Structure 1
Amino acid sequence: MKLLVAEDQSMLRDALCQLLLMEEDVDQVYQAGNGQEAIELLQAQTIDVAILDVEMPGKTGLDVLEWIRANKDMKVIIVTTFKRTGYFKRALAAHVDAYVLKDRSASELMQTIHAVLAGQREYSPELVEEAAFASNPLSQREQDVLSLAAKGLSNQDISEKLFLSNGTIRNYMTSIFNKLSASNRTDAVRIARENSWL
């Protein structure tokens, strides 16, 4: 079988590729250091399974997954260190074949590869549990405020749009920052989007 490993940390990528090449049914392992390289390789080569890291420069593993679903018929495994519910839900929406954490051995990864080639799906139990129980800590009004802030509106603009005082909007923003452990508006918007709360 032919595999693609897309991972921006070169030492980790090299080690994983060496381990995979030691498996008797692996014929070739292509390497990509970022999402754009992965897409270029996928356009040029016939690959059975793409193993993608989530966070890479330029295009992420999730961007590559979505590109594959629109252009190719192949299996995709996301391997990540991040237990972020938003990432997991986005991968599920794109029909990822497996979504597993990086703390597994090469032999466990080979089992996952064989499982997806046999038509099975595999998701790390921790992620499934987190996705099932992750509830939005923001009230409806806080979501309204944050979604307007995400569009670049100032507190004054938001207060006029929602017919609330400037002080009330400030209080909502403080509450949002506290609930999301965010340091500023941009951070709060990013966290809320990653968790599909916005």
Structure 2
Amino acid sequence: MIRVLIADDEEMIRTALAALLRLEPDIEIVAECADGEQAVAEATRLTPDVCLFDVEMPGLDGIDAAERLRRTVPTRVVAVTRHARPGVLRRALAAGVQGFMPKSRRAQDVAEVIRRVAAGQRYVDPEIAADALSDERSPLTDRELAVLRAGAHGETTVRIAASLHLSPGTVRNHVSSILGKLHLDTRQQAVLEARRRGWI
């Protein structure tokens, strides 16, 4: 049996997908979680073979949850998303996600990807992969993206600096560089643009 943990903040989608996957003879759903924090805690406790994470969850999203688990739990991750932007795919792969697919796929397709990933293979939806090859890469450095991610919910410069172990002045310099590269006026605009492009 392939032991699977599902995390999705939309209860109807989560419970429906879990019910459909339970019909598969070789898949056992060991937990259903409503957010990334709960998913990490349950995955740490249960060590499932595969975690099926929604990318867009409040707080700790599916990709950040996968990144956290990569360092602590021997599990593999399939990420599903409603907005399959190429930048999100690149971020997911960098976080160690082994499978990536849109939510529009059938439950049978999800089950097949779970089997492939559990067997040690990788899977990226072909349409998303094609889009990623033609999409413009982020002009921001990894540190600049980290600053945007740390301030994505309106955190102050001082809090961003503390979370990244930087000085407030360094954070302000990064924000200034970000705004110049993106030709924007505010950090909030930069966060929205980075999210739209799938960079954070």
**Normalising by the residue count of structure 1, what TM-score does the alignment of the two structures yield?**
0.73
Alpha-carbon shift at residue 17 of structure 1 (Å): 0.5
Quote the residue 2:136 is aligned against: 135
- Give the distance between the partners of 2:120 and 2:39, measured in 1 at CA: 23
Quote the residue 1:186 is aligned against: 188
Percent identity between the two aligned chains: 33
Quote the residue 1:180 is aligned against: none
Paired residues for 1:3-18 under 5 Å: 3-18=4-19
User: Would the alpha carbon gap of residues 43 and 185 (structure 1) be closer, same or farther in structure 2, given more than 3 Å must change?
Assistant: closer
Alpha-carbon shift at residue 112 of structure 1 (Å): 0.5
Alpha-carbon shift at residue 176 of structure 1 (Å): 3.0
Paired residues for 1:1-150 under 5 Å: 1-135=2-136
1:130-165 CA-partner distances (Å, limit 9, x unpaired): 221112597xxxx9xxx9xx9557xxxx6xx9xxxx
Report if the CA contact (8 A) 2:44-2:72 is conserved.
Answer: no
Any gaps of 5 or more consecutive residues in structure 2? 149-169
Report if the CA contact (8 A) 2:7-2:32 is conserved.
Answer: yes
Report if the CA contact (8 A) 1:20-1:29 is conserved.
Answer: no
Report if the CA contact (8 A) 1:86-1:194 is conserved.
Answer: no
List, as ranges, runs of 4+ consecutive aligned residues in structure 1 with deviation greater than 6 Å: none
Any gaps of 5 or more consecutive residues in structure 1? 162-168, 178-182
Kindly name which structure, 1 or 2, has the bigger radius of gyration based on alpha carbons: 1
Among candidates 152, 165, 183, match of residue 176 of structure 1: 183
- Give the distance between the partners of 1:24 and 1:189, measured in 2 at CA: 43
Report if the CA contact (8 A) 1:87-1:194 is conserved.
Answer: no
Alignment coverage as a number of residue pairs? 170
Alpha-carbon shift at residue 86 of structure 1 (Å): 2.2
Q: How well do the aligned residues superpose, as a CA RMSD in angstroms?
A: 3.2
**Normalising by the residue count of structure 2, what TM-score does the alignment of the two structures yield?**
0.72
Alpha-carbon shift at residue 37 of structure 1 (Å): 0.6
User: Would the alpha carbon gap of residues 136 and 78 (structure 1) be closer, same or farther in structure 2, given more than 3 Å must change?
Assistant: closer
